Amino acid sequence: MKNEKLIHDWMVSYLKDRLSRDYDDVKINLGDERNNEFNGHYPDLIFRNHGMVLAIMEVETENSMTQEKANEWKTLAGIGAKLILMVPKASKAKVIDLLWKKGLADKASVGSYEISINMP
């Protein structure tokens, strides 16, 4: 769905700007881009301080959280940096369940986002 790609890419860009205050260097891979690599993989965000990669982040949307994606998380959790998953707030329980089933509950952190529109 094109709107999910838009939300994904916007969240990646937003998180880069927001978290660049906490890290010396934040690299991103939008959509299918493969511009910034870490140990042979291309996570959505790569966080560095003093030349060391401290964490990698994957941004997920409502329909991107699948068993196949969980297999990718398992691979990313084992490449040498902390894995952070950023998921829609309403799907946080689903992701935590997937992490438990894949044996990743202690190897990944889960953050959430919510897009709120208030009408008068």
| Residue 47: its H or E element | strand 45-49
Whole-structure pTM value = 0.91
pLDDT, residue 61, reads 94
- Residue-by-residue DSSP string for 50-61: TTEEEEEEEE--
Please list the pLDDT of the chain residue by residue as tens digits (120 residues): 568 999 999 999 999 999 999 999 999 999 888 999 999 999 999 999 999 999 999 999 999 998 899 999 999 999 989 999 999 999 999 999 999 999 999 999 999 999 989 998
pLDDT of residue 1: 58
Tell me the H-state helices in 20-66.
Answer: none
Q: Please report the domains of the chain, with CATH numbers, ordered by start residue.
A: 2-113 (3.40.1350.60)
Q: What backbone phi and psi angles, to 5 degrees, belong to 72? A: -65, -40
pLDDT given for residue 31 in this prediction: 83
Helix (H) or strand (E) holding 74: helix 67-77
